[in-house]
Every structure is written in structure tokens, then in C-alpha cells.
């Protein structure tokens, strides 16, 4: 009897739990059995592995082969365990040295020819392997993804034969080419394209500085979508840890990670017909939805009242907690969802209420029903609401004014102001706790009395009170990082809650 152990990683949300692949060869009728809660694609690995080993000029054992994937209670799916299973069988039969498998993890699906095919979720697996100090062998198809992590020993291979030759010491496996990862520079939509809309531009700058949520309200064609699309261009660049976190979510979905833009903040704009599952994620094997794909970036919901009420209401918890938990009968997956919500809507069903052209034919009852499609609790979680009026046609053809700044200029101002928040609390103002809010948002007696009276008149909730203070703190940071909030900061923050 002979036993060999190899290591691999499963895919469970954005986590990558370790899987120990135990291979045992014994006497009896020849056959291969895989145990440890494997799903169909894993059970079929016995045929893929057998043919791949034979086509790589190795001998498949003519004995009873038992493969155990531990821990047994963790569901396993996909072809990601093929390489680990094949090496375990070869090591158990003495065809490759067992001691070389101890500190190494293997990921990859095998073709019948013995070639290695790429798998999804490689980036989360590499992050976990880095924490354990292990080497990892991945298919060349995942090399671009693996090159994003600089401090982990990764080797890429094209075939099973190459991996076996490396374990025998007959050849070397090259690491991914990290020099191919370029420094990302933003070349997206620029704020210079937006004419006028000074108040909306100001709200966009506050949103970017503090990480707040924003609602744009105005008639069709006033630039709401243009403004939302330009928010990523004025946000600070992702840190390496944030970028790896964001790319890990993309990797789990099986989508390719573009090394050219891996530091770029995501911008997701799902159609208003998207279901609640499409937004938050789900399925029998839970996958991330749009709000997780927008992690560390922007989720833009255009035509907000046209989204289903149920789909909008599922956003309420992630907006507060920054994560989404999906529970199924056999597993529970947690996905990060720390995103900025930017929403746009018309003021009425026809879109022209309050427009200077007086084209609106909607009744007050129709307008009320239209706005009531958005629940009060969701609106309460939006920090800034701003009107986007129609720009006069005469202003569209005039030369740009000094107020029409480009994204680079605004971004520099945003990064300077955000630095005040990072030095105080280590996070943007929208994410600070209530205790930190009391410490960082000091009010004088006169300002406190005035602010409380304004809150009473506007009938704002306790949540709105805290969110207004956070916005005021951001405005003060843009005003040179004032230590004490004055009435101008509070008044500007309050005007963004008029909706």
C-alpha cells in the first residue's frame, strides 16, 4: 500500500480554503474512486487524469486508487483539482518524489493531452498561499493574474510533463513575468467634458473625497450619466491591497483580469431590469453580484425608480455593512461590497417637472407615485441629493470657463482633502464609526444649537444626523482640513438632504 498527499485550494466565495488531496493505492480490482463531497466535474476528473497521465508517457497504476479531498464537509467543484490529483497518483506510485510536494500547492485543469488549462479564482488562492508561505504552480493561462502579486513564489507550466520534470529536478518552471504589469494611468471619461452644473460638480467632488453616496435628480439630457461616469476619474487610485481584493472578486467570476487596468476603480452600471440576485449575487454555488463587482468602486443605478422595489431594497444592508452574506443549504458565502452608490432619476414620469420649458403634464399624484417607488429607508442611506438642471443651449457652444476643471485637477484636490481623513481615522469619512464621528466632528455651542434646530425642522432621522455630520466633515476637509466644523460646513451638508 502507498499513500501520497498534495495540496490545492477550493473556491468558496472570495475565500480559498485549503484542500488536502490524499491518494491511496491498494490491491484489489483496478479502479479510481474520488471521495470528499465532490461534485460532478470533480468526479469526472478520474477519467481526465487517467488519460492525461497516459498521454504524458507515465504509467497509470493498475491498482485500486482512492482519492480523498479533505476536509470532507467542504463542497468541491470544477476542474481545479486535476493537477493535484494527477501528481498525488504519480507520487503514490513512486514516479515523482513525494518530499517535493510538501510545501507546494497546485491548481489547474488537465486536458486529455496532458496540457494545463486555466481555472477561475486563482488570485484568492495565491493570496491565501502567500499567507502560508507556500509555492504555487498554476497554468500559464493564469500567469497574467499571478504576476499581480509580487511577494509569492509562483511557477507557471504548460503541461503535466513540465511539472513532473520540475519536481524531479530535470527542468525549471519560470515565474510569471512581473515586468509585463504596467503602471496604470487613467484615460477614462474626463470631467472637462461637462459644461456648467457647478453644484453637481461640487457634490461629485464631495462624494469622491468622503466616499459618500450620491443621488442626481434632473430632466433627461442634463448630464446625470456623464457626471456619474466621471466619478472614477477623480477618485484616488486603488492601493495594492484594495486592487488585489477587487481583482480577486473578478477572478472568482471567471472573468479575465486585465493587468493594464488592475489598479483602476471598477464602475458597474447594471440595467434597470436587473434582478435582486443579479445585484447581490446568488445561485446554488453562490457567485458575486454587481454590488460585489463594484467593491472599492462605483455602482451606478440609472433610472432609479424603474428598478424593481425588491431589487432596490436589497441594497439597504450592504450600504450599511459593506458586505453581503449569501446562505444556501450546503454553504454560506460572504462577499465584500464596500461600494459608492451613485443613482440618477428624473423628477417625474415624463421627466420634465420643474424644467424651464414647462413641458410636464404629470399630475401631483403621478409624481408622488413615481417617487414612492424608492423606499424611504434607501433614500435615508444616500448622503447627498442634488438637482441637475438643464444647461442653456447658448452655454454649450461657449468657451470653457475657469470652473470647467479637468479630472486631474479635481483628483489632486480630492486626494489632498482625503489625506486629512486618513491621518485622523485611517479611512474615508463615510466609513468612520459613531465614536470617531463624535471625536472628529466637534461643534461649538452656537453651531450645535443651530444644527439641532435645523434637524428638527427637516425632521431627519438619527441615521441622517450622522450622515450629515460625515458630509460636513468632508466639506471641512476640502476647506483645508478645519478641525472644528462651522455653520457654513453644516449648512452645505444639510442642503444636500433636501430630497
Least confident of 173-182, 203-212, 427-436, 460-469: 173-182
Are 222 and 155 in a shared domain? no
95 and 208 fall within a common domain:
no
Band of the pLDDT at 404, cuts 50, 70, 90?
A: confident
pLDDT of residue 95: 94
As a whole number of angstroms, the distance between CA 406 and CA 400 comes to: 11
State which residues form the domain around 241: 191-427
The CATH number covering residue 322 comes to 3.40.50.300
Judge if 148 and 218 occupy the same domain: no
Is there a single domain that holds both residue 406 and residue 438?
Answer: no
Q: Could you tell me if residue 226 is inside a domain?
A: yes
Contacts of 294 (CB under 8 A, 6+ apart): 266, 267, 268, 337, 339
Give the CATH number for residue 50.
3.30.230.10
Q: Are 163 and 300 contained in the same domain?
A: no
Choose one of 396, 427, 458: the last residue of a domain: 427
Residue 179 pLDDT class (50, 70, 90 cuts): low
**Same structural domain for residues 22 and 170?**
yes
Tell me if 185 is assigned to some domain: no
Residue 2: all three cell numbers together:
502507498
Residue 410 and residue 452 in one domain: no
- Do 373 and 494 share a domain, yes or no? no
Same domain, 154 and 204: no
- pLDDT tens, position by position, 264-293: 899 999 999 999 999 998 877 788 999 999
pLDDT tens figures, 115-174: 999 999 899 999 999 999 999 999 999 998 888 888 889 999 999 999 999 999 999 999
Tell me: do 249 and 276 sit in the same domain. yes
Structurally, the chain folds into a number of domains equal to 3
Q: Supply the pTM of this predicted model.
A: 0.86
How many C-beta neighbours within 10 Å does residue 202 have? 17
Position 390 in a domain: yes
Amino acid at each position: 500500500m502507498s499513500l501520497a498527499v498534495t495540496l490545492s485550494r477550493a473556491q468558496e466565495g472570495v475565500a480559498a480554503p485549503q484542500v488536502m488531496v490524499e491518494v491511496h493505492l491498494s490491491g484489489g480490482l483496478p479502479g479510481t474512486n474520488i471521495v470528499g463531497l465532490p461534485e460532478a466535474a470533480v468526479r469526472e476528473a478520474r477519467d481526465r487524469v487517467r488519460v492525461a497521465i497516459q498521454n504524458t508517457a507515465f504509467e497509470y497504476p493498475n491498482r485500486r486508487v482512492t482519492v480523498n479531498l479533505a476536509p470532507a464537509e467542504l463542497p468541491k467543484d470544477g476542474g481545479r483539482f486535476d493537477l493535484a490529483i494527477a501528481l498525488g497518483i504519480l507520487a503514490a506510485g513512486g514516479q515523482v518524489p513525494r518530499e517535493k510536494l510538501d510545501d507546494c500547492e497546485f491548481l489547474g485543469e488537465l486536458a486529455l493531452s496532458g496540457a494545463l488549462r486555466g481555472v477561475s479564482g486563482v488570485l484568492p488562492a495565491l493570496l491565501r498561499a502567500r499567507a502560508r508561505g507556500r509555492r504555487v504552480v498554476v497554468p500559464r493561462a493564469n500567469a497574467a493574474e499571478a504576476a499581480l502579486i509580487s511577494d509569492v513564489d509562483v511557477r507557471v507550466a504548460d503541461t503535466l510533463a513540465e511539472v513532473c520534470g520540475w519536481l524531479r529536478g530535470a527542468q525549471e518552471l519560470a515565474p510569471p513575468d512581473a515586468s509585463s504589469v504596467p503602471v496604470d494611468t487613467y484615460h477614462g471619461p474626463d470631467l472637462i467634458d461637462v459644461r456648467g452644473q457647478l453644484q453637481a460638480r461640487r457634490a461629485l467632488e464631495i462624494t469622491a473625497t468622503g466616499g459618500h453616496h450620491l443621488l442626481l435628480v434632473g430632466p433627461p439630457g442634463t448630464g446625470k450619466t456623464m457626471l456619474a461616469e466621471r466619478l472614477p476619474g477623480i477618485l484616488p487610485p486603488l492601493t495594492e491591497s484594495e486592487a488585489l481584493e477587487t481583482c480577486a472578486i473578478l477572478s472568482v467570476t471567471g472573468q479575465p483580469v486585465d493587468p493594464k487596468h488592475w489598479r483602476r476603480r471598477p464602475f458597474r452600471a447594471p440595467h434597470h431590469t436587473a434582478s435582486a440576485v443579479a445585484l447581490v449575487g446568488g445561485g446554488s454555488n453562490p457567485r458575486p453580484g454587481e454590488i460585489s463587482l463594484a467593491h472599492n468602486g462605483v455602482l451606478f443605478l440609472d433610472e432609479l425608480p424603474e428598478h424593481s422595489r425588491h431589487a432596490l431594497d436589497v441594497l439597504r444592508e450592504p450600504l450599511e455593512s459593506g458586505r453581503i452574506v449569501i446562505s444556501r443549504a450546503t454553504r454560506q458565502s460572504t462577499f465584500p461590497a464596500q461600494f459608492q452608490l451613485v443613482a440618477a432619476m428624473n423628477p417625474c414620469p415624463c421627466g420634465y417637472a420643474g424644467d424651464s420649458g414647462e413641458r410636464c403634464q404629470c399630475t401631483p399624484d403621478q409624481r408622488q407615485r413615481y417617487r414612492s417607488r424608492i423606499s424611504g429607508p434607501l433614500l435615508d442611506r444616500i448622503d447627498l441629493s442634488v438637482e441637475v438642471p438643464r444647461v442653456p443651449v447658448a452655454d454649450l457652444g461657449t468657451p470653457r470657463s475657469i470652473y470647467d476643471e479637468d479630472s486631474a485637477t479635481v483628483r489632486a484636490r480630492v486626494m489632498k482633502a482625503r489625506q486629512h481623513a486618513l491621518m485622523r481615522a485611517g479611512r474615508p469619512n463615510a466609513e468612520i464609526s459613531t465614536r470617531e464621528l463624535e471625536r472628529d466632528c466637534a461643534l461649538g455651542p452656537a453651531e450645535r444649537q443651530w444644527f439641532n434646530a435645523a434637524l428638527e425642522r427637516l425632521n431627519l432621522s438619527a441615521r441622517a444626523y450622522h450622515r450629515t455630520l460625515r458630509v460636513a466633515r468632508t466639506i471641512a476637509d476640502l476647506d483645508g482640513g478645519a478641525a472644528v466644523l462651522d455653520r457654513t460646513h453644516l449648512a452645505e451638508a444639510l442642503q444636500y438632504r433636501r430630497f
